Amino acid sequence: MSTQPGNRDAGAWAQPVHRLTVSEGHINVSGRRPTAPMHGFGRMWQKTYRTSLAGTDVSPSEAITVWKQHFPEFWPAGNRFFAPLAGIAPGEVAALDLSMPGGLKLSTGVLVLYADDESFTLMTPEGHMFAGWITFSAFVEDGATCAQAQVLMRASDPLYELGMTFGGHRQEDAHWSHTLTALALHLGASGEVSAETVCVDRKRQWSRAGNVWHNAGMRSALHMAGAPGRMLKNAFRRHEV
């Protein structure tokens, strides 16, 4: 093994974690393994959304500080990001409630895989719509600070792949475009967003079709369907006490 000295990025990475844990009241996160793009089922995509902060004097590190602090506020209405108490820091886990078509709420989460002054990366757990990570970064290009969200992902299972093909990708594009526009407007820029989508691998990984077992969409729907029963059960329990 190499004996090179300590690495500058050491404090920016999460510690290895086998299974995620999150506070009670959130489903589809605790006990789930974090997933990389290799673990998904669908085609692999790299999607890059970018906005220029030209006209402002915001540095990349200032943009990332604001983005971390106000991360949930920039999301489209109907979606919730339950920020960890320690904020967006390496190893922290956040729960998410995402608004889906048909009034369904999809409950899942993310692990903060990496966070430094100029970028941070969220990694998805088993059951999320996609296996992969999203890197949020800011950098100077052509003399202006740019903010960027880059998603490297495969849809986690065949159901999600179908969903992504029929509207899911469009919904995701809208989500991150909205987020970047909100960030840019917050920082005093115009908020125009460019998007680039690259298919990294057209092959679907049929060996990963079994990921459907963890599908957070189905489990969220079952959880919602079981809500009246749980309410009744709790009411009886209270009555007995």
User: Residues in the site for another protein, rule: CB under 8 A?
Assistant: 1-4, 6-10, 12-17, 34-39, 44, 46, 113-114, 116, 118-119, 121, 123, 133, 135, 137, 139-141, 150, 152, 200-201, 203
CB of 97 to another protein, least distance (A): 25
Q: How far is the CB of 223 from another protein (least distance, A)?
A: 27
For another protein, the closer of residues 100 and 152 by Cβ is 152
Q: What share of the chain is helix, strand, coil (3-state, %, to 5)?
A: 35, 30, 35
* Tally of CB atoms within 10 A around 207: 8
Q: How far is CA 193 from the centre of its chain?
A: 19
The minimum distance between CB 59 and another protein, in angstroms, equals 12
Q: Which C-beta is closer to another protein: that of 7 or that of 57?
A: 7
Specify the residue, 77 or 199, whose C-beta has the smaller distance to another protein. 199
Give first-to-last CA distance, the chain, whole Å. Answer: 62
Q: Is 218 exposed, middle or buried (0-12, 13-18, 19+ CB in 10 A)?
A: middle
Q: Which two tokens stand for residue 83?
A: 């920020």
Kindly state the smallest distance separating residue 113's Cβ from another protein, in Å: 6
Q: Indicate the residue among 38 and 235 with the shorter CB distance to another protein.
A: 38
Closest approach, Cβ 50 to another protein, in A, equals 12
**How many angstroms separate the CA atoms of 14 and 165, rounded?**
32
Question: To 5 degrees, how large is the angle CA 77–CA 78–CA 83?
Answer: 90
Taking the complex as a whole, the smallest distance from the CB of residue 65 to another protein amounts, in Å, to 16
d(CA 215, CA 163) in angstroms, rounded, equals 12
Rounded to a whole number of angstroms, the minimum distance from the CB of residue 139 to another protein is 7
In the complex with another protein, the residue whose CB is nearer, 82 or 139, is: 139
Q: Whose Cβ is closer to another protein: residue 10's or residue 225's?
A: 10
Residues ≥6 apart with Cβ < 8 Å to 50: 146, 147, 148, 149, 180, 193, 194, 195, 196
Report the residue number, 11 or 101, with the smaller CB distance to another protein. Answer: 11
Q: What is the distance between the alpha carbons of residues 192 and 184, in angstroms, rounded to a whole number?
A: 8
DSSP, collapsed to helix, strand or coil, labels residue 26 as coil
